[in-house]
Amino acid sequence: MEYVKSAWKNIKMNKGRTILTMLGIIIGISSVITILSMGNGLKKDVTSSLDDITGGSVTIALDPKKTTKTITNDQIKAVGGAVPLISGATPHVNMYASCNVKRKAETRLTGGNEQSVVEFKDGFYSGRYYSEYDVESASEVCVLTQASAVVIFNTFDVLGMTLPVTLDDKIRELTVIGVLRSEEYDIENVRTLIANDQIGYIYADVFVPYTLFTSRYNLMDEKLSSFEIFPINGQSEAAAAKAIKVTENILDLRGQKAVTMQSLASMLDMYANIMDSVTLVIALVAAISLLVGGIGVMNIMTVTVTERTREIGIRKSLGARTSSIMLQFLIESSMICMIGGFIGMILGFLFSNVVGRLADLKAVILPSDVILVVAISVGVGVFFGIYPARKAAALNPIEALRME
């Protein structure tokens, strides 16, 4: 504690010189904090966007080059039940149709089982999702999004209405049993397209039991070559790995590498890794100013040792150990860097918010970044304080006392 008080006293005695010495540390730390927080914000924004695109789902597929086996709905549900990291597993089949109620609209029919409801995190505007019974009996029911309801019916209140779709050159009539919530942006975008007579640029999404295609309409075989899983808590990689192993066991495909993951979720991880690398490189470039600041600290501490040579000689003649002298100057250089790091951290937070508003991006400051900055500040102080501290500790007390 005595060393800290002594260091603080010496820092206060030379305020102007100390502030100028801190500038390099302040600029470096604030730059690093700003870049890391903006990089974290960008990563979170991109991750959120990709997660919205994927719906948090991962596709597990059988490689036709390595196996001719297929998988059934019961086996898919068995995979979901065997992996705790999965909240649902479903067949995923797309077919395109058209309908003409208020206007002609292109329609994308997506077939799945009852577990595919977990994909829709915003919940329902009205009604319900199709049930296990609806899937088993291939009920002619469907679920729409609010945006799709506007495209087809011009209203959200469509429960119980009949949706005629032209599929395989036949008109199929589906009963609407549920309406899923859509983002307000999507609804307004649809209304704008309708007003501008540009509705042909989008598909109305309609969700149906996949058995409509297999059992009732006989448009495809019951046997499937891929399915979707919905990992919980963003555990896409771990969930996919376990799902692949379970699928291999169920289909007796162990060791053949015939079951693969095909999803944008893997792209999400790739983009996250790329952004982390880019952010780190830019942060390292910004940290060059820390090197300059550290050299400044070393210079000023060397000057301080020269100015206090007589004081060091007196302390050593009174029995002060070499390690004590060295520790005193190391503490002083570390305090200069820590104070500079603290000021730089505050400025970094401010700059992050300002740049975030200008770039329409929310800065994300992680506790690990704050810990990193503190560690860097102390590390710079210790590293660049070693030379002047050793110089002070190595002084001959007799020669030091002769210095004027």
Q: Is 220 in a helix, a strand, or coil?
A: coil
For residues 106 and 21, give the distance between their C-alpha atoms in angstroms, rounded to a whole number: 67
Q: Span 43-54, mean pLDDT?
A: 59
Q: Span 244-268, mean pLDDT?
A: 80
Residues 6+ away with beta carbon under 8 Å from 3: 324, 327, 328, 331
Helix axes 15-54, 288-307, angle to 10 degrees: 160
pLDDT band at 313 (very low <50, low <70, confident <90, very high): low
Domain ranges in the chain are 2-47+274-402, 56-265
For residues 385 and 379, give the distance between their C-alpha atoms in angstroms, rounded to a whole number: 10
Total residues belonging to the chain: 404
E strand intervals along 113-232? 124-127, 141-145, 162-167, 170-180, 204-209, 226-231
Contact 7, 331 (CB under 8 A): yes
- Name the one residue in this structure whose structure tokens are 């800065």: 363
- In this predicted structure, the answer to whether residue 301 has a pLDDT above a threshold of 90 is no
- In this predicted structure, the answer to whether residue 378 has a pLDDT above a threshold of 60 is yes
Angle (CA) 81 85 89, round 5°: 50
Q: Span 319-341, mean pLDDT?
A: 74
Structure tokens at 201: 């640029």
Q: How many helices (H) and strands (E) does the chain have?
A: 14, 11
Closest CA to 204 of 142, 263, 157: 142
Comparing 27 with 1, the larger pLDDT belongs to: 27
Which pLDDT score is estimated for 262? 67
For residues 375 and 334, give the distance between their C-alpha atoms in angstroms, rounded to a whole number: 11
Give the H or E element holding residue 349.
Answer: helix 322-358
Q: Is 141 in a helix, a strand, or coil?
A: strand
Share of the chain above pLDDT 90, in %: 25
Angle (CA) 214 215 218, round 5°: 60
In this predicted model, what pLDDT tens digit does every residue of 96-133 receive, in sequence order? 999 988 888 899 999 999 999 988 888 999 999 999 99
Which pLDDT score is estimated for 209? 96
Tell me the one-letter amino acid at 89.
A
Burial of 297 (C-beta count, 10 Å sphere; 0-12/13-18/19+) = buried
Phi and psi angles of residue 120, each rounded to the nearest 5 degrees, phi first: -100, 90
User: Residue 15, Cβ neighbours under 10 Å: how many?
Assistant: 9
**Helices marked H in 137-287:** 146-153, 184-195, 211, 236-250, 264-286
pLDDT band at 165 (very low <50, low <70, confident <90, very high): very high
For residues 390 and 329, give the distance between their C-alpha atoms in angstroms, rounded to a whole number: 9
Secondary structure (DSSP) of 362-390: -----HHHHHHHHHHHHHHHHHHHHHHHH
Q: Is 199 in a helix, a strand, or coil?
A: helix
User: Residue 264, Cβ neighbours under 10 Å: how many?
Assistant: 17
Closest CA to 93 of 108, 79, 74: 108
Tell me the one-letter amino acid at 199.
I
Residues 6+ away with beta carbon under 8 Å from 307: none
Share of the chain above pLDDT 70, in %: 75
For residues 345 and 325, give the distance between their C-alpha atoms in angstroms, rounded to a whole number: 30
Which pLDDT score is estimated for 129? 96
86-90, strands of its sheet edge to edge: 86-90, 226-231, 58-62, 259-261
- In this predicted structure, the answer to whether residue 205 has a pLDDT above a threshold of 80 is yes
The radius of gyration of the chain's CA atoms, rounded to the nearest angstrom, is: 33
Q: Are strands 58-62 and 226-231 parallel, antiparallel or unpaired?
A: antiparallel
For residues 214 and 223, give the distance between their C-alpha atoms in angstroms, rounded to a whole number: 9
Angle (CA) 225 230 233, round 5°: 150
